[in-house]
Amino acid sequence: MRQLQRFYETTSAIIAETLRIHPIYPYLKCVANEDYETTTPGLIINSGTKLFIPIKAMQNDPEIYAEPTKFIPERFAVENLHQRQLLAWLPFGEGPRNCIGMRFSHFLIRISLFSLLSKNKFTPTSRTPIPLAYEETSLVLRPQGVYACR
Ligand code: HEM
């Protein structure tokens, strides 16, 4: 039982850190449904304003995540969660219209990781692009040269 709990917590942190660096949707769009006074004096977001939320930029901002390009799953370890700014991690959106598939995705990623890593060992090769390059013509973040379907 403890091992299962550990697997669950470790994979949660790994998934969270991966989606922090590489959020599949790099930005969110929404519309303010009422006037909102921000913490910046004089800055009011009027009802009806269209908002663009740059998730990738926020999640890679060194003022929010120290050493943002480094893969550090411990940022999302259970004991560190209280230090986290809740709205600074948004790969699945937030609020009443956030992703309904969030838990299902976590489940699928865990099963895939378990199945792949229990039988294989992965190592970078001379053809592995480091840093990862994204497909330029895609609206979602996708590694260059890897196609979702053919
Ligand atoms: C890693 C995988 C996934 C990511 C990163 C992701 C991300 C997102 C994001 C960013 C949104 C918009 C949320 C917002 O505007 O605040 C969204 C919406 C949505 N997602 Fe996902 N998603 C994933 C997988 C899935 C899966 C597996 C399903 C279905 C089984 C799903 C179903 C939906 C639906 C139906 C919405 C629209 C919800 C609404 O408008 O009320 N997603 N997702």
Which tens digits make up the pLDDT trace of 65-81?
Answer: 999 999 999 999 999 98
Spatial distance between the Cα atoms of 24 and 42, rounded to a whole number of angstroms: 34
In-domain check, residue 26: yes
Weakest mean pLDDT among 18-22, 56-60, 82-86: 82-86
Q: Which two tokens stand for residue 55?
A: 């998730």
How many domains are contained in the chain? Answer: 1
Tens of pLDDT, residue by residue over 105-125, are: 999 999 999 999 999 999 998
In-domain check, residue 148: no
Spatial distance between the Cα atoms of 59 and 106, rounded to a whole number of angstroms: 19
In-domain check, residue 32: yes
In-domain check, residue 140: no
The β-bridge partners of 45 are 36
Spatial distance between the Cα atoms of 76 and 121, rounded to a whole number of angstroms: 24
pLDDT at 149 over 90: no
How remote is the CA of residue 17 from the centroid of ligand 1, in Å?
Answer: 18
Which atom of ligand 1 lies at the shortest distance from residue 96's CA? 41
CA-CA-CA-CA torsion sign (143, 141, 111, 150): negative
Amino acid at 128: T
In-domain check, residue 130: no
In-domain check, residue 95: yes
- C-alpha distances out from residue 40 to 52, 90, 93, 109, Å: 18, 22, 23, 39
Q: Which two tokens stand for residue 103?
A: 């838990």
In-domain check, residue 137: no
What's the pLDDT at 96?
A: 87
In-domain check, residue 89: yes
Tens of pLDDT, residue by residue over 122-140, are: 999 888 888 888 998 888 9
pLDDT at 101 over 80: yes
Q: What is the mean pLDDT of the chain?
A: 92
Range of the domain at 81: 2-100
Q: Which of 15, 19, 86, 92 to mutate to test the pocket of ligand 1 (most atoms within 8 A of CB)?
A: 92
Residue among 120, 117, 90, 113 nearest 102 (CA)? 90
What's the pLDDT at 148?
A: 59
